[in-house]
Structure 1
Amino acid sequence: MASSMWKLCRLNLNGNIGFFSCGQVRSGHHLRGRPPGVARSLDQVLAEKNYKDPAIHFRVDIGLPPPVHSRSKRLEERLRVFKEQRKNPALEKLARKKQLFIDLEETRKEWMKTVGPNHIKNISDHYGVYEHLFGDAYFYNRVPLSVTYDKDDGKIPVCYGNIIKPIETSKKPCVTYECEDNTFWSLILTNPDGHFTESDSEYIHWFVGNIPGNAIEKGETLIEYLQPFPPKGTGYHRLIFVLYKQEKELDFSSFKREGLCLDLSQRTFSTYNFYKNNKDDLTPAGLAFFQTDWDPSLKKFYHDVLDMKEPIFEYDFPPPHIRKQEWFPLRKPFNLYLDKYRDPKQINKEFLMRKMKNVHPFKEPPPPVPYPNAEYFEGYIPTWLKLEMRKSKLKWGRINDIE
């Protein structure tokens, strides 16, 4: 036969004549593409598309080496402390009465000595911090950073992805860490999500180099602190603090910016290139980051500080498709059909005028009709107009959307 989809007749048990075909048919529709047993699954297609050669693409630890600890001695120490606490009746009494308090600062220090760096690395990977700053490289948080912003009723800590509003970050944060006195450090605050013109670049918000020990105020301020300014409509931005350990005192004169440096083009930065050019003398050691998004305080910041028009990003929806107007549209309400081809502003104006018709500054509006559906219509009135009159009396429809 000429067609490959030929049908055969067969007789059912009930005596009815049925048809079946040798082609791929499911519920009366022909299958497109390969059958399920031959076609690849979505996971297989994505795995093939995102495949990376392990000989070329592999992650490298560029951080400080881990401290050397004896696991057996640590476990023995924990067991000894645990036995001593079990023998203490005062602790048992406080725990039974739910009055036993735990020092959170000591708990945090113990966490950072054990599994904390690994947890921080996993969180940073989740937020794409290492990928967007260092590519295939990563590092563990060997030198814990304590970053806090001052607030009227306390301090706001910078953790690992918490949300802080721009109005709360207008002033320079307080950064502390523990280290030896005869060492040099560099601290950088960067935003990989907010560049206006170059999608692969960052804006650097703070750069202090050649810090002796942990005295940041004695370091060389190369770029003054500038608060985050995420534009409206761009979602959350990541502001990342990275602490580098220097092998020696370095010359950062090429990064020096005078004054507050409000020219955003001069704040263009690339962490990847910065580390690549100084990898022999710098080692990333500490990490902290937070997220921030637009708030109303940035309107004044853009106009008064940056002296620029505030950028607003919105999704530009395509206009709705309206088919060509017909002479006799069938089964379509007359008024709603014609409103599709009218100016929406004119339609809203008509509804507003109709709503304001009975509004008087010194008189009360007329009372509503007690039984609007029971009113009799005099003469011939088209069905669509009757429906509109009923909606108006019942206060249904678009008239309620006009404020």
Structure 2
Amino acid sequence: MFSRGIRLVNNVQFQHLRLGHRMRGKPPIYSRTINERLDELNYKDELYTKRIDIGLPPTQPKLSREACLKHLKRIKTNTELEQLARHNKLEVDLDTVRKDWLELLGPQHKKRIAEHYGIFEHLYGEGYFTPFLNLEVLYDCYPDSYLPVFTGNVIKPLEASKQPIVNFESDNEALWTLALTNLDGHLKENDKEYVHWLVANIPGNHVEKGDTIVDYLRPFPLKGTGYHRYVFVIYKQNGKVTYEVPKVVASSSLDDRTFVTREWYKKYQDDITPAGLAFFQSDWDPTVKDFFHNTLNLKEPVYEYDFPAPYIRPQEWFPKKRPFNLYMDKYRDPKQINKEYLLRKLKTEDPFKMPPPPLKFPNAHPLPKSMPSWLKLHERKIRLKWGRVNDV
């Protein structure tokens, strides 16, 4: 009796532990603790969360709050400016406004826009910089006018087919490096770039006197891949630098232009510092096809997305609260439906006569009483030119 009672108690405890509590997953002795699970869920890669400023320090001291308030108070108390603004006679010099913007808020605004487009993340990973140096890039694509590169404006491949004009302020003794890369256009490896232009040891702001390591290559965004980001970055050198990069000419293959900015900068970070930034976006145009065939001697890759066929639920014997014609049109060929609408339109058309005037009050004209309700609604839509009749 005593031993049998022990067996009964052990059996109840076993059922309580294994059946009463339906345990899922691994047993507690093998599974992770709650702290380990939280650490796993809250894990963030330091490459993208730890930010490091790799740029130049600000050239001008930041205005204090008191100075800004004093300046605003002086403007608001100026009655002459107030009267000119009230009568729409206040003239503002846009060149002066742009100069002040570039010196005060322009670098911060450019930095925010670049972060929005993911420029720093895809160039340097955890690195970023504030572009205190204004980099002016102009494409000579129109007679007597230039197309500027700002921060994310759209420029077509045809408009950027020629080497741009680059201007920036610099001392004659300073040396610079200019790099142009495509962050989205590599044909074989997604985590790499194509370098479209690389000029080193630029004396002052004379880009044409620098050492051209990689010849300029026009943008060639592929069809179906959307907008590609093309980034100009100007680096200030501490002295003359010799880059261990093979010489790339215009006739070189695309494989020779494979580039990773983060690794390249990591190798030469003691000799160069990013100072200026400008970038644009570009998407496909017909000249890309000619560029692949005539310049690269390659077939043009074309990316298309095959949308799956829309799901149509099986037919029902008695579909409730659904117009008969619209319900049945779901299971018909759309081309046949458009053909019926087109034939109906052409039935009353005569190339030698003026079309009949539209009904002034379409809903006022009665329909036959024997006509079904779904067909009446169909006719009213055609009279009012609503719905599918406008697709033909």
Q: TM-score range by the shorter chain?
A: 0.5 to 0.7
Q: Does 1:61 align with 2:50?
A: no
Give the distance between the partners of 1:392 and 1:109, measured in 2 at CA: 59
Give the distance between the partners of 1:346 and 1:223, measured in 2 at CA: 57
Q: Which runs of 5 or more structure 1 residues have no equivalent in the other structure?
A: 1-45
Q: How many angstroms does 1:187 deviate by?
A: 0.5
**Which amino acid counterpart does residue 217 of structure 1 have in structure 2?**
E
Residue 390 of structure 2 corresponds to which residue in structure 1?
A: 401
Q: Does 1:178 align with 2:152?
A: no
Q: How many angstroms does 1:270 deviate by?
A: 1.6
Q: 2:309 aligned to 319, 338, 341, which one?
A: 319
Distance 1:373 1:346, change over 3 A: same
How is 1:2-401 mapped onto 2 (pairs within 5 angstroms)? 49=41, 52=44, 58-67=50-59, 97=84, 105=95, 108=98, 112-113=102-103, 116-150=106-140, 151-152=142-143, 154-231=145-222, 234-252=225-243, 254-259=245-250, 261=252, 263-290=253-280, 292-294=281-283, 298-307=284-293, 308-309=299-300, 311=302, 313-314=304-305, 316-326=306-316, 328-331=317-320, 332-362=322-352, 372-375=365-368, 383=372, 386-387=375-376, 390-391=379-380, 394=383, 400-401=389-390
Maintained 8 Å contact 2:181/2:197: yes
Aligned-pair identity in percent equals: 45
SS in 1 for 2:339: helix
How big is each residue's C-alpha offset from its partner over 1:129-156, in whole Å with a ceiling of 9 and x where there is no partner?
2122111112232433222233446333
Maintained 8 Å contact 1:203/1:269: yes
Distance 1:176 1:399, change over 3 A: closer
Maintained 8 Å contact 1:149/1:155: yes
How big is each residue's C-alpha offset from its partner over 1:143-191, in whole Å with a ceiling of 9 and x where there is no partner?
3322223344633333333444545433322111222333432111122
Q: How many angstroms does 1:243 deviate by?
A: 0.8
How big is each residue's C-alpha offset from its partner over 1:61-120, in whole Å with a ceiling of 9 and x where there is no partner?
2223455x788xx99xx99xx9xx99xxxx997896577766655665555555554444
How big is each residue's C-alpha offset from its partner over 1:10-47, in whole Å with a ceiling of 9 and x where there is no partner?
xxxxxxxxxxxxxxxxxxxxxxxxxxxxxxxxxxxx99
Q: Which moved more, 1:229-238 or 1:197-206?
A: 229-238
Give the distance between the partners of 2:346 and 2:275, measured in 1 at CA: 68
Q: Which moved more, 1:202-211 or 1:222-231?
A: 222-231
Give the distance between the partners of 1:368 and 1:102, measured in 2 at CA: 54
Distance 1:390 1:110, change over 3 A: closer
**Which amino acid counterpart does residue 60 of structure 1 have in structure 2?**
I
Give the distance between the partners of 2:311 and 2:148, measured in 1 at CA: 50
Give the distance between the partners of 1:255 and 1:100, measured in 2 at CA: 57
Give the distance between the partners of 1:117 and 1:252, measured in 2 at CA: 28
Q: How many angstroms does 1:219 deviate by?
A: 1.7
Q: How many angstroms does 1:303 deviate by?
A: 1.9
SS in 2 for 1:306: helix
SS in 2 for 1:198: coil
Maintained 8 Å contact 2:177/2:202: yes
SS in 2 for 1:222: strand
SS in 2 for 1:373: coil
Give the distance between the partners of 1:56 and 1:229, measured in 2 at CA: 29
Give the distance between the partners of 1:65 and 1:271, measured in 2 at CA: 21
Maintained 8 Å contact 1:225/1:260: no
**Which amino acid counterpart does residue 356 of structure 1 have in structure 2?**
L
**Which amino acid counterpart does residue 303 of structure 1 have in structure 2?**
K
Residue 43 of structure 1 corresponds to which residue in structure 2?
A: none
Give the distance between the partners of 2:90 and 2:354, measured in 1 at CA: 67
Q: How many angstroms does 1:200 deviate by?
A: 2.0
Give the distance between the partners of 1:55 and 1:321, measured in 2 at CA: 42
Q: How many angstroms does 1:400 deviate by?
A: 1.8
**Which amino acid counterpart does residue 239 of structure 1 have in structure 2?**
Y
**Which amino acid counterpart does residue 275 of structure 1 have in structure 2?**
Y
Maintained 8 Å contact 1:355/1:399: no
Distance 1:140 1:399, change over 3 A: closer
Give the distance between the partners of 1:107 and 1:352, measured in 2 at CA: 58
Maintained 8 Å contact 2:217/2:250: no
Q: Which runs of 5 or more structure 2 residues have no equivalent in the other structure?
A: 1-37, 294-298
TM-score by length of 2: 0.67
Maintained 8 Å contact 2:224/2:302: no
Give the distance between the partners of 1:220 and 1:55, measured in 2 at CA: 32
How big is each residue's C-alpha offset from its partner over 1:268-310, in whole Å with a ceiling of 9 and x where there is no partner?
32211211222233222222223x343xxx4321221122447
